[in-house]
Chains A and B, each alone.
Chain A
Amino acid sequence: MMDLTVIWAGIIGFAIVAYVVMDGFDLGIGILFPRLKVGTERDTAMNSIAPVWDGNETWLVLGGGGLMAAFPLAYAIILPALYAPIIAMLLGLVLRGVAFEFRWRDPAHRPVWDVAFTLGSTVATFAQGITLGALLQGITVEGRAYAGGWWEWLSPFTCLTGLGLVIGYALLGSAWLIWKTEGSLQEQAYRHAWRLGFALLAIIALVSLATLYLDAQYHRRWLVYPGVLATAQVPLATLIVSVLFFRSLKLRRHLQPFLYVLALFGLCIVGLGISIWPDVIPARLTIWEAAAPYRSQVFMLVGAVIMVPIILAYTAWSYWVFRGKVGAEGYH
């Protein structure tokens, strides 16, 4: 029998993937912003995400709120453990979010809000990467609470995952710009995509290798025969997708690079799943230990089953309304 806890892990996982994919390119554009020319290029890049960023960020609220609802114990342990990065992420998102409006409202101080946009996006992304790395490297738990210090999350490994996510989101952002813009901005985006693509592959390789030596569990899951026959498909697929990605850049495709970057993110998440499933805090807490009671799960499942398809439908509609290339003059 498929139990509700597994279904809820799937829903939270879906929300996190949806967030990474959708806010990933928004944040990526923020990270790339200083490289874009003041004026038309920046305005166009901003216009391309202005109507959708708010909806994209809402998946983060669903991820956080959903974690509290479906796995309250995990929420209660992870957030204090990652106190500093979470607060930094939230403050980064504050800066990033208001910059969308404020830069249009105050042309005299637009450079200030452009800096806030980049700073906020970069800090938020780096903090999310650190969060991921800290979860992988392990969290000290005693009873039902976090028991480590407030710097436990900081290590070379977490800095590496933070940097990796910054590069990954920047790549998503450039692929988005390739899709949604034309002319000199698109040219710029192609150039960035090449460099960021290679950088991301390098960092994926580094993080993957480092992960194997973080914990015996990861080592066992990835490398022991015959499991290795299945797990080896992930790096293999990553290699194939990368080749296709660079080929699509070479052929000057518009949409394909974006889809291949999404596929790369998808493969990284599959890899993450192989490492930690079915734990919510690796080696400390399984999803069943952290799960909310049956009645909470059922009540929310009704809402999720009805609402998530509706949300996806009108989100798709909103993207459809703003489809096509965006110019500095707005949407054609």
Chain B
Amino acid sequence: MSPWDNELALLLARVQFAFTISFHFLFPAFTIGLASFLAVLEGLWLATGKSVYANLFRYWVKIFAVVFAMGVVSGVVMSYQFGTNWSVFSDKAGPIIGPLMAYEVLTAFFLEAGFLGVMLFGLNKVGKKLHFTATCAVAVGTFISAFWILAVNSWMQTPTGYEIGANGQFLPGPSWPAIIFNPSFPYRLVHTTIAAYLTTAFAVGAVGAWHLLKDRDNPGARTMFSMAMWMAAIVAPIQIFVGDMHGLNTLEHQPVKVMAMEGHYQSHPDGAPLILFGIPNSAEKRVDYAIEIPKASSLILKHDLNAPLAGLDTVPDTDEPPIGIVFWAFRIMVGLGVAMAGLGLWSLFARWRRHLYDWTLLHRAAVVMGPAGFVAVLAGWVVTEVGRQPFTVYGLLRTADSASPLDAPAVAFSLAAFVVTYFAVFGAGIWYLLRLMKKAPDAHEAGLDGSPIRSAGITPAAGMIEGDVA
């Protein structure tokens, strides 16, 4: 293989991983929140007996089934991507991250999959209480899954608790908690989980708002919009606070990533400016057309206007991530986060003035903000993953030294196959989701266990009959 061919194969492998993980991440970002939302709906139904909750459960469980299926199949791909395209990384980091991922399978994937069948199809077979248990098991499973996979990711960002073996492998040290609870893990776990909840809240809120625009008296639309806006109002501000803590943690452990996020090419010995916008110019090592607030970056990051902040001039070029991508992705994420908190505040105001269900402009804004969570989650992921470059295990193993010994054509061919299949399959899936969401929740929502049954021309089984609570 020529060196050029090597470079190309590496680039294609990185594009393939970015492509498959980005597509995959959209689905769990939605199902983590949606599973909890469904558990809350079913719990409220059991507690109050109000049919609106049962109807909403049936409405959203159909959407959940489609999203979950896409999450599962795209997730299986991920568990093999490490081996097919990043075999050197798998060999070296396998003894550490392999067991964490095995725990994810053992404690989360089986739990979700094992109870999913009962959750989707089993209400008439197991009774309400056991069915609620199954729904909760799926919801807990999604969270446990996030716990382990984020432990893996965080260890790659801030590796601790390892030893280096004679063959170059990372070996576990005496303490597994030291590996799992590495410095960035608690922050990343909380930040990502809240992001998933917000993503769901804004998707649910947009669906509710869409239907309120058509019929402001639809009880299902009112309930889901109200629940979603409570989440937005309470959780979005918390997320901004948590995000700030995560940023400070990153400054401590991965300062170069923060330099890229901030666009700080130069060191600032007495107070660094906060660059709001600008165009990073890595060739000239400056940010063109910068709009900046003097000393504000030092205030945010060091809580001191005049605190010195080191810039990328202190780092060798070969250890820098791509600045522009990290810089822009960070601004997209923060901008959307602030907009989400803004919509949450607006909804509080509307609620206080008793216009939550008839303020058309608010509903339109909520519809527009429907995809905001997904975009913000992907942008945040880009910040942290691209910001980790040029390493796979931060500071220890370079991305260029992690890839499989594959020829560029092989990687190009598989990438093309993934792109074609994913756009066709998940494009259709997202289309079906939008179609399900377009239908207004009605007072006699059919259950999912009804769907295969109905299609065969038989009436839906009795079970979740409206208000059918003993």
Shortest beta-carbon distance from A110 to chain B in Å: 9
Please give me the residue from chain A that is nearest to B171 by CB atom. Answer: A293
Contacts of A195 in B (CB 8 A): none
A105-B432, A106-B432, A292-B94 in contact; A57/B76 too (CB < 8 A)?
yes
A321 B83 Cβ-Cβ under 8 A:
no
| Cβ 8 A contact of B121, one of A50, A69, A73 | A50
Once the chains are docked, how many angstroms separate the CA of A296 from the CA of B174?
A: 10
B42 contacts chain A at the CB level, 8 A cutoff = no
A299 contacts chain B at the CB level, 8 A cutoff = yes
Once the chains are docked, how many angstroms separate the CA of A265 from the CA of B225?
A: 53
Shortest beta-carbon distance from A100 to chain B in Å: 6
Contacts of A146 in B (CB 8 A): 87, 404-405
A68-B90, A94-B73, A100-B69 in contact; A315/B110 too (CB < 8 A)?
yes
B98 A65 Cβ-Cβ under 8 A:
yes
Shortest beta-carbon distance from A182 to chain B in Å: 15
Shortest beta-carbon distance from A128 to chain B in Å: 12
| Cβ 8 A contact of B102, one of A57, A60, A69, A98 | A69
What is the total of A-B residue contacts with beta carbons within 8 Å? 254
B87 A50 Cβ-Cβ under 8 A:
no
Once the chains are docked, how many angstroms separate the CA of A322 from the CA of B117?
A: 9
Once the chains are docked, how many angstroms separate the CA of A293 from the CA of B99?
A: 11
A61 contacts chain B at the CB level, 8 A cutoff = yes
Query: Which of B338-346, B367-375, B445-453 is the interface stretch?
Result: B445-453
| B421-435 vs A, Cβ < 8 Å mask (1 yes, 0 no) | 110010011001001
| A211-223 vs B, Cβ < 8 Å mask (1 yes, 0 no) | 0000000000000
Contacts of B455 in A (CB 8 A): 43, 104, 107
A62-B105, A296-B98, A328-B456 in contact; A144/B167 too (CB < 8 A)?
yes
Shortest beta-carbon distance from B26 to chain A in Å: 14
Most buried by B among A90, A100, A150: A90
B3 contacts chain A at the CB level, 8 A cutoff = no
A295 B79 Cβ-Cβ under 8 A:
no
Contacts of B169 in A (CB 8 A): 72, 293
Shortest beta-carbon distance from A66 to chain B in Å: 5
A65 B79 Cβ-Cβ under 8 A:
yes
Once the chains are docked, how many angstroms separate the CA of A106 from the CA of B427?
A: 13
Contacts of B117 in A (CB 8 A): 50-52, 54-55, 318, 321-322
| A67-85 vs B, Cβ < 8 Å mask (1 yes, 0 no) | 0111011011111100110
Once the chains are docked, how many angstroms separate the CA of A145 from the CA of B83?
A: 11
A187 contacts chain B at the CB level, 8 A cutoff = no
Contacts of B126 in A (CB 8 A): 321
A3 contacts chain B at the CB level, 8 A cutoff = no
A330 B90 Cβ-Cβ under 8 A:
no
A interface residues, how many (CB within 8 angstroms): 74
B83 A90 Cβ-Cβ under 8 A:
no
B452 A50 Cβ-Cβ under 8 A:
yes
| Cβ 8 A contact of A300, one of B103, B115, B125 | B103
Please give me the residue from chain B that is nearest to A66 by CB atom. Answer: B102
Most buried by A among B82, B84, B107, B115: B84
Please give me the residue from chain B that is nearest to A97 by CB atom. Answer: B73
Once the chains are docked, how many angstroms separate the CA of A304 from the CA of B134?
A: 22
A68 B453 Cβ-Cβ under 8 A:
no
B87 A102 Cβ-Cβ under 8 A:
no
A76-B90, A329-B453 in contact; A86/B407 too (CB < 8 A)?
no
Secondary structure of the A contact surface, majority rule = helix
B305 contacts chain A at the CB level, 8 A cutoff = no
Once the chains are docked, how many angstroms separate the CA of A101 from the CA of B73?
A: 12
In the complex, which residues 80-120 of chain A have their Cβ closer than 8 Å to any Cβ of chain B?
80, 83-84, 86-87, 90-91, 93-98, 100-102, 104-107, 116
B404 A314 Cβ-Cβ under 8 A:
no
Shortest beta-carbon distance from A54 to chain B in Å: 4
B469 contacts chain A at the CB level, 8 A cutoff = no
Once the chains are docked, how many angstroms separate the CA of A87 from the CA of B421?
A: 12
Shortest beta-carbon distance from A304 to chain B in Å: 7
B101 contacts chain A at the CB level, 8 A cutoff = yes
Query: Which of B207-215, B320-328, B348-356, B410-418 is the interface stretch?
Result: B410-418
Contacts of B110 in A (CB 8 A): 55, 58, 62, 307, 311, 314-315
B8 contacts chain A at the CB level, 8 A cutoff = no
Shortest beta-carbon distance from B252 to chain A in Å: 28
A51 B118 Cβ-Cβ under 8 A:
yes
Please give me the residue from chain A that is nearest to B454 by CB atom. Answer: A104
Shortest beta-carbon distance from A62 to chain B in Å: 5
Once the chains are docked, how many angstroms separate the CA of A93 from the CA of B126?
A: 30
Shortest beta-carbon distance from A238 to chain B in Å: 32
B269 contacts chain A at the CB level, 8 A cutoff = no
| A142-154 vs B, Cβ < 8 Å mask (1 yes, 0 no) | 0011110010000
Please give me the residue from chain A that is nearest to B137 by CB atom. Answer: A314
Shortest beta-carbon distance from A235 to chain B in Å: 34
Contacts of A94 in B (CB 8 A): 73-74, 76-77, 421-422, 425
14 A-B pairs (CB sep. < 8 Å) = A51-B121, A55-B110, A62-B102, A65-B101, A75-B87, A75-B98, A79-B87, A80-B404, A101-B69, A102-B432, A292-B99, A295-B173, A299-B99, A322-B122
Q: A residues engaging B (CB < 8 A)?
A: 39-40, 43, 46-47, 50-52, 54-55, 57-58, 60-62, 64-66, 68-70, 72-73, 75-80, 83-84, 86-87, 90-91, 93-98, 100-102, 104-107, 116, 144-147, 150, 292-293, 295-296, 299-300, 303-304, 307-308, 311, 314-315, 318, 321-322, 328-331
Closest 10 CB pairs of A and B: A72-B94, A69-B98, A51-B117, A79-B83, A76-B91, A97-B73, A76-B87, A307-B106, A55-B113, A69-B102
Known contacts A54-B117, A76-B88; 8 additional CB pairs below 8 A are A57-B72, A62-B102, A65-B105, A69-B102, A84-B410, A98-B428, A104-B451, A303-B106
